[in-house]
Amino acid sequence: MSENKKELYRDNGQTGSVLHEFDSSNKNLENIGVEILPVHTSGTVHAKRIDGKFRTVKWIIAAFWLSLFLGPYLRWDGHQAILWDLANRQFHIFGLTILPQDIWILAMILLFFALLLAASTAVAGRLWCGYFCFHTVWTDVFTWIEEKLEGQPNKRIKLDEAPVSLEKLKIKIPKHLIWLAIGLLTSFSFVAYFTDAYDLWGRLFKLEWGGVETTIILALGVATYFFAGWLREQTCIGFCPYARIQGAMIDTQTVVPTYDQERGEPRGRMKRVKPGEEAPQLGDCIDCNLCVAVCPTGVDIRLGQQFGCITCGLCIDACDSVMEKIKKPKGLVRYASLAEFAGKKLPPVWKRPRVIVYGGIMAFAAAAMIYGLATMSPIDVKALHERSPLFVQMSDGNIQNKWTVKIVNKGAEPMEAQISVVGPEGLTYQADKIVHIQPGNVGSTTLLVKIPRKQLTDTNVPVTIKVVDLNNPAIREDYQSVFIGPKPR
Ligand code: SF4
Ligand code: SF4
């Protein structure tokens, strides 16, 4: 054990515990199926996998990420259902086209999820890191493959330390090839959200990929392989910025996996007490190290909350399984808050100030998002009034105004837009008969409107510019503008 670690243990009053100078011949524990595990304090973390409710939750949530691989192949009205069309600056999602002018709706969606992240962290720590984060999930899958090919942690550590041999390469090479294949499939799937997925596959077999997509797919694929396969927990500990800011989001009421020191200490192995011998006064922790062995970031939760803890709950599963075997109540390691350990009663989640503030902003973002989506029209009309001159006095006594009308086709079908104008009696107008606009494109035309001067009762007279899609008359929009004229006589 390193001197630093010994010091830590002394500070915690745990001098009796020697982590990796363990007594592996502890028959009492073996008899009840509890293994005393060594703790490896250096090198790659090779975590042990055991079943439990948090492990199950992790797998269920990880399945959500399958959508990343399947999403690009979904079709909607004959088009890719989810597509970021960067070339045409459009985002298509299930028949809805979001153009740059509607980008605020995406901003609201991002705001909602950012606040959801903050609120969930305030309530239960790094839920994102422990269960949802793509790095955590990919690392989990990569290490699962490693376990299938190389075996349990001890075997993996021995294999890592063994000199290069044919036997070693026969195990290591397939593992790295599978990791790389998953990395490349991940990056391919990511890029497929920005271009037609089937077309991307087709062009792959014809070797017709462009330089940009080839570079992105290779770079992202290798990065996935490197981060999830090689760096693993070091990404969470050393690189992830969210790990650093989460400290500002939690407080004494936040529940995180915690070791119940009062109940667990002094820790020690179970001993058979001989007649006449006094039983040692031990806490419930039998110092089996299982909670440390299962931790994907190599944290010893008994040392208290630590930076490396991603609050995945796997140490809770581990300790509960041990408590079950030694017939003690579960929960020696459990989701708990500092306030709970200080004997304070936790207020309900919805009465906590942070949750109220985060929840309020989330509700605002959700309302704005729903409003934006519900009122989003497949057509957007803007009419820009000519500034110089504002109006022209015609020789026949009419006053003429000029607009540039821009029509955005936000739908998935071509549009044939017809323009008409409604206003004071005698109003006449002149514009392109039909404006043809392809999906996601903008059509533009010049509109000239004339009104007899005697009909103008003010310098600003309201007029309505009406646009209707002749292909689908239900798609229409009225644009309110003003006709500008001289002072009435
Ligand atoms: S200490 Fe427990 S909750 Fe934290 S990362 Fe390790 S296993 Fe997960
Ligand atoms: S906290 Fe639980 S799992 Fe960890 S060493 Fe103690 S008894 Fe074993």
Atom 8 of ligand 2, nearest CA residue: 288
pLDDT score of 14: 36
Q: What is the pLDDT of residue 40?
A: 63
CA of 233, nearest ligand number:
1
Residue 408 near ligand 1, beta carbon < 6 Å: no
Provide the pLDDT confidence category of residue 3 given band limits of 50, 70 and 90: very low
The pTM of the full predicted model, rounded to 2 decimals, is 0.78
Segment 33-42 mean pLDDT:
67
- Cβ of 299 closer than 6 Å to ligand 1, yes or no, is yes
Q: Model confidence over 17-26: pLDDT tens digits?
A: 333 344 444 5
The structure tokens listed for 169 are: 């390469």
pLDDT tens-digit readout, 260-288 = 999 998 888 766 667 777 777 888 999 89
The count of other CB atoms within 10 Å of the CB of residue 215 is 11
Report the alpha-carbon distance of residue 325 to residue 303 in Å, rounded.
23
What is the 3-state composition of the chain as percent helix, strand, coil, each rounded to the nearest 5? 45, 20, 40
* φ, ψ (nearest 5 deg) of residue 217: -65, -45
In this prediction, residue 24 carries a pLDDT of 43
Predicted pLDDT of residue 137: 96
Could you tell me the distance, in angstroms and rounded to a whole number, from the CA of residue 292 to the centre of ligand 1? 8
Q: Is 475 in the pocket of ligand 1 (CB under 6 A)?
A: no
CB distance 212 to 122 below 8 Å: no
The CB of 293 under 6 Å from ligand 2? The reply is: no
Please state the rounded mean pLDDT for residues 335-363. 88
11 has a pLDDT exceeding 60: no
| 182 touches ligand 2 (CB under 6 Å) | no
Q: Which residues 6+ apart lie within 8 Å of 288 measured at CB? A: 29, 34, 35, 36, 37, 322
Q: How far is the CA of 286 from the centre of ligand 2 (A)?
A: 6
- CB of 298 within 6 A of ligand 1: the answer is no
The closest-lying atom of ligand 1 relative to the alpha carbon of residue 308 is 5
Distance, in Å, from the CA atom of 80 to the CA atom of 401, rounded to the nearest integer, reads 43
Contact indicator for 277, 296 with CB cutoff of 8 Å: no
pLDDT single digits (tens) 359-377: 999 999 999 999 988 888 8
Does the CB atom of residue 333 touch ligand 2 within 6 A?
A: yes
Task: Please tell me if the CB atom of residue 34 comes closer than 6 angstroms to any atom of ligand 2.
Answer: no
Taking the CA of residue 286 as reference, the ligand 2 atom at the shortest distance is: 7
Q: Which of 7, 35, 59, 13 is nearest to 293 (CA)?
A: 35
Contact between 26 and 132 (Cβ < 8 Å): no
Ligand 2 atom closest to Cα of residue 289: 5
Residue to mutate (ligand 1; options 53, 314, 333; most atoms within 8 A of CB) = 314
Q: Which residues contact 176 (CB under 8 A, 6 or more apart)?
A: 225, 229
Q: What is the pLDDT of residue 350?
A: 83
CA of 178 to the centre of ligand 2 (A): 34
Q: How far apart are CA 160 and CA 164, in angstroms?
A: 9
Alpha carbon distances (Å) from 361 to 167, 186, 246: 58, 33, 19
Distance, CA 316 to ligand 2 centroid (Å)? 9
Q: Which ligand is nearest to the CA of 323?
A: 2
Tell me the domains of the chain and their CATH numbers.
Answer: 379-484 (2.60.40.10)
CA distance readout (Å), 93 to 106, 194, 327: 11, 12, 53
Q: Is the CB of 318 under 6 A from ligand 2?
A: yes
Instruction: Please report the pLDDT score of residue 324 as a whole number.
Output: 93
Tokens 């909670």 -> residue: 291
Does any ligand 2 atom lie closer than 6 A to the CB of residue 285? yes
Which of 135, 246, 301 is the best mutation target for the ligand 1 pocket, counting ligand atoms within 8 Å of the beta carbon and taking the most? 301
More confident residue, 463 or 37: 463
* Cβ of 119 less than 6 Å from ligand 2: no
Q: What's the start-to-end Cα distance of the chain, in Å?
A: 99
Q: Within 10 A of 393 (CB to CB), how many other CB atoms are there?
A: 13
> 443-471, pLDDT tens digit by residue?
999 999 999 998 898 999 999 999 999 99
Cα(311) to ligand 1 centroid in Å equals 5
Coil, helix or strand for 247? helix
394-421 pLDDT, tens digit each: 998 899 999 999 998 887 788 999 999 9
The reply to whether ligand 2 has any atom less than 6 angstroms from the CB of 322 is yes
Q: Which atom of ligand 1 is nearest to the CA of 294?
A: 7
* pLDDT of 182 above 90: yes
Contact 15, 287 (CB under 8 A): no
